[in-house]
Structure 1
Amino acid sequence: MRKLIFAMNLSLDGYIATPGDDLGWSVPSDELFQWWSDRVAATDLALYGRRLWDTMSSHWPTADRQPGATPADIEYARRWRDMPKVVFSSTARTVDWNTRLVTGDAVAEITRLKAEDGGPMDIGGATLAGAAMRAGLIDEYVLLTHPVLVGGGTPFFTALDKWVHLDPLETRPFPDGVVLTRYETRR
């Protein structure tokens, strides 16, 4: 059975994006960017909601060929293109870059994917991750908390019908005051 992990940058007040999807507050240090790149390399399958897919696919497929691309950008772009991905959307019509599209029941498909043999799966996108949270499918939460208050936007956590008990796994500081905290869902 695969492990499902929800990892995102978030503000201290719990948002992954401000109104209008401004992410300027979450620009990573070189060390944090390398951590994300290594995470992509270790991910067996990435699950994306449509809005996060639009953000990622608008930049990373060709980022390694852009003027001024750093070695870290080149490495991340190649890893991202090579990583198998599933996009969940009722509005997208096509996807590319080692990706398949699911237009049906996301919870049913995530449940099926978790039951397969394989390595860890990452889930990204507030709506998709929220559905997986409510269904009790997320095994690990990874919060990369930035020392900024943005005052509103897209929350990391969705409203839940019942409590989810978590056990701490790791705490790690990064430059610029970012703190990683990992929690495992208590089963």
Structure 2
Amino acid sequence: MGRLVYAINTSLDGFIEDVNGNFDWSVPDEELHEFYNDMMRPIGMQLLGRRMYETMAVWETDTSLAQESEVLADFADAWKDSDKVVYSTTLTGPVTTRTRIVPDFEAAEVRAWKAASPADLLVGGPELAAAALHAGVVDEIRLVLAPVSLGAGKPALPTDLRLNLELVEQRRFDSGAIHLAYGVRT
């Protein structure tokens, strides 16, 4: 049975982007990108909101990224190797392989995918993650805290939900970023 993991880059004060929608502060160095590669490689399915999908689709649609370095090529391969479910009512079709567009998040469907999957599933994007957290289907939250404080912006976690968590992993990077993984207690 697979677990549903919410993984996101966040500022130290808990925002994924600033008030203008910028996230240029979260560009990973090579060490951090290798960590992301290791995290992505075993993922069997990604659940993505429209904005996260449009941001991440470049890993398949822009082949020049994979030519920049071995680390980036590895991430592009990991992206292409997983199935993707994109939740959107406005997209008319996918621009990447192994991708399907569905209009609504259904917790029962996610539970069925988890039960049938030998690999973990990844949820990307704070709005979709909030829906999954509210539905009680997220098993683990993985935050990479960047050494920056934004003061305001889009929060990484829902502001209207209490979560009881257990620290299961931590790692510090030379850049000053810190990875924290928490199991979601039920």
Q: TM-score, normalised by structure 2?
A: 0.91
1:93 is aligned to 92
Alignment pair present for 1:138 and 2:138: yes
- Given the superposition, is the C-alpha separation of residues 178 and 76 from structure 1 closer, same or farther in structure 2, using an over 3 Å criterion? same
* Deviation of the 1:66 alpha carbon: 4.8
Deviation at 1:38, TM superposition (A): 1.6
RMSD between aligned alpha carbons?
1.7
Conserved in 1, the CA contact under 8 Å of 2:59 and 2:66?
no
Q: Distance in 2 between matches of 1:105 and 1:11?
A: 27
Query: CA shift at 1:160, angstroms?
Result: 3.2
The aligned counterpart of 1:127 is 127
Counterpart residue type for residue 163 of structure 2: V
Partner of 2:117: 117
Residue correspondence of structure 1 range 146-185 to structure 2 within 5 A? 146-161=146-161, 163-185=162-184
Deviation at 1:46, TM superposition (A): 0.9
Check the 8 A contact 1:82/1:97 in 2, yes or no.
no
Aligned-partner residue type, residue 85 of structure 1: K
Among the aligned pairs, what percent are the same residue? 34
User: Which residue is equivalent to 1:72?
Assistant: 71
**Cα displacement (A) at 1:2:** 2.1
CA separation in 2, counterparts of 1:107 and 1:69? 38
Q: 1:21 to 1:73 in 2, by over 3 A?
A: same
TM-score normalised according to structure 1 size: 0.91
CA contact (8 A) 1:86 1:102 kept: yes
Please, which runs of 5 or more residues in structure 1 have no aligned partner?
none
